[in-house]
Amino acid sequence: MTLPMLETPRLRLRPPVPADLEPWAAMMADEETARFIGSVQTRFMVWRSLMAMAGSWALNGYGFFSVIEKATGRWIGRVGPWHPEGWPAPEIAWGLVRPAWGQGYAAEAATAAIDWTFAALAWPSIAHVIHRENARSQALARRLGAERHGAATLPPPFDGAEADLWVQDRARWRARRRP
């Protein structure tokens, strides 16, 4: 299987590799960054997440992309499609290191991931599962054209999380993306 590599003006998106463990673990050790993306995790739990993403790419043909800043070559986060067992809908999720916040990187990376997902995977719609207190991600979902569809019911261990489902379909996305 040939794994995809995506490029945007400032970013490279590629499937995760073992060298991503260090920066990914640092991101998930930061309490504020990890607050809405699974909470602080030990290095071992991050290793498991990295391996799960590698497995998702191998078994499903999709998973999170590692987001690499072109200018520096540094790993700044992860973004992409996933649909774990019991999840309310196929999702495009994102999480970036705090120094990358506020620079438009999340929108740039998510846009590339959504374009790729609709083209390569032909999903009819995508969702973003966003905690009700995560105003930054809600604003990004709106910017990407998603609409809030109410409460999300998540499987354990996330059941009880106060999250909403933000959704958009492929036709609407493509209409917004036409020049």
Helix (H) / strand (E) element for 168: namely strand 163-169
- Is 1 within the bounds of a domain? no
- Is 118 within the bounds of a domain? yes
Cis peptide before 157 (omega within 30 of 0): yes
In the chain, the amino acid numbered 59 is: L
Query: Tokens 């498991």, residue?
Result: 48
pLDDT at 54: 93
Contact indicator for 63, 57 with CB cutoff of 8 Å: yes
- Is 35 within the bounds of a domain? yes
Structural domain total, the chain: 1
Contact indicator for 38, 56 with CB cutoff of 8 Å: no
Rounded to 5 degrees, φ, ψ at 170 are -60, -45
Using the Cα atoms of residue 53, residue 40, residue 153 and residue 172 in order, give the sign of their dihedral.
negative
Structure tokens at 32: 């504020």
pLDDT at 17: 96
Q: Per-residue pLDDT tens for 17-65?
A: 999 999 999 988 988 887 867 777 888 998 999 999 999 999 999 999 9
CATH number at residue 101: 3.40.630.30
Q: In the 8-state DSSP scheme, what is residue 61? A: S
Angle at the Cα of 166 (from 163 to 167), degrees rounded to 5?
A: 145
- Is 52 within the bounds of a domain? yes
Label residues 65-82 b or e (16+ Cβ within 10 Å = b): bbbbbeeeeebbbbbbbb
Q: Per-residue pLDDT tens for 35-44?
A: 867 777 888 9
pLDDT at 35: 82
- Is 155 within the bounds of a domain? yes
- Is 148 within the bounds of a domain? yes
Identify the domain containing residue 64 by its residue range: 6-177
Question: Of 162, 161, 57, 41, nearest to 95 (Cα)?
Answer: 41
Q: Does the reported pTM lie above 0.85?
A: yes
- Is 167 within the bounds of a domain? yes
Number of residues that this document lists for the chain: 179
- Is 132 within the bounds of a domain? yes
The distance in angstroms from the start CA to the end CA of the chain is 32
Q: Per-residue pLDDT tens for 71-121?
A: 999 999 999 999 999 999 999 999 999 999 999 999 999 999 999 999 999
